[in-house]
Amino acid sequence: MSLHALWLRAAPALEALDFTGADGVQVFSAEALAALHHPPLNPDIPALIVADGVPDLAALRRALGNQYPDDHSLQMVRAGAAVETVPLAALLGVAAGWTVLGVPPLPRPSSFERFQDVIAHLRAPEGCPWDRKQTHRSLRPYLLEETYEVLDALDADDADALREELGDLLLQVVLHSQVAVDAGEFHMADVLAHVIEKIVRRHPHVWGSVGVNDDQEVKVNWDRLKQVEKAENGAPASRLDGVARALPALTQAYSYQDRAARVKFDWDTIAPVIAKVHEEIEELSAAQTAAEREAETGDLLFAVVNWARWLGVDPESALRATNARFYRRFAYIEQQAAAQNRSLDDLSFEEMDALWEAAKDNGL
């Protein structure tokens, strides 16, 4: 259906719908929306969805549900301008015969476009002096900090905290992009276009004719495509390229090992993996100089990471969880010492160890 035809069918419904105060309206074909996995709708602006033929309500409900909550009220216009209000969750149960589906905006500003406007305002001449003076380099510590706070929320399995921290991380992404816009480097559209093209190109089993049997074949194909891209760009085509040098050492070791394993540079069973750990312990014990001890410590940690990989354990997350347990148990020792009006310096190792075991018994 042409845009002109959509407007002709949607316009009469505007009088029946309550879009008071709206600065604009979006018009889309129900058939086109149902073919997508995420609706191209700005949730800050009301939308009119025009029924063309017999819409696939299941597909339409799934697409809208990727943007709007189940209880979001939709206004369904039928012949004679009769309006029926239904929540999104009930869309599948409505009777046929509607002509236009009105989608009101979300109750508070929620669009990516609105967020970009907020950040652009901060960087504008009348905006915030602190934000205006930031550069890519000055923002680097905040990007790293927010990334780790997202990881903290993930480790805590706290969905509310994750929602908040992802927003803070997104702030860094959009702020970096606005710095680039102001410097004439690139626009957010360039960032999005690049990543969209890359994701589609590296998933030929989804957007092409390549067949895969499991996730391991997906990884192998991904690596091969990256090598082709690097070769086309004249860059070195190492299988380990793309693992960020700024990653935490445990995560970097895991990534190196995982990429090497994809081309079968790996043992066939876990037994030699474990034997390697014991071998590295012996070599560290036999090290004589500070340089040897540092090198052998690194080799031992690398071997332990490999063992963790074979067990399906993320070593970075595992160590972070252990660190958190250590913090809780040590804090318990401090609390118990304070309750006895004693300082930690006054406690013997045996007393502190007993309190440590007590902390474990209390589930800390």
- CATH 1.10.287.1080 for domain 112-201: yes
pLDDT value of position 189:
95
pLDDT band at 21 (very low <50, low <70, confident <90, very high): low
Would the pLDDT of 233 be above 80? no
| Residue 127 Cα distances to 5, 32, 115, 161, 185, angstroms | 43, 40, 15, 28, 21
pLDDT in tens, 254-263: 999 998 988 8
Give the pLDDT confidence score for residue 20 in this predicted structure. Answer: 65
pLDDT tens-digit map of 200-214: 988 888 888 888 888
pLDDT tens per residue, range 51-78: 887 778 999 999 999 999 999 999 988 8
Q: What amino acid is encoded at 55 in this protein?
A: P
The dotted CATH code for 249-313 is 1.10.287.1080
Query: Which CATH number is 3-103 given?
Result: 3.30.950.10
Identify the helix (H) or strand (E) that includes residue 281.
helix 271-286
Q: What pLDDT score was predicted for residue 219?
A: 79
C-alpha–C-alpha distance, residues 173 and 178, integer Å: 9
Place of tokens 């895969």: 212
Helix axes 315-339, 349-361, angle to 10 degrees: 110
Q: Is the pLDDT of residue 36 over 70?
A: yes
User: Which residues, at least 6 apart from 172, have a Cβ–Cβ distance to it below 8 Å?
Assistant: 139, 142, 143, 146
The model carries a pTM of 0.73
Summarize pLDDT for 3-19 with one digit per residue, the tens.
777 777 777 777 778 77
Tell which residue, 312, 240, 247, has the closest CA to residue 273: 312
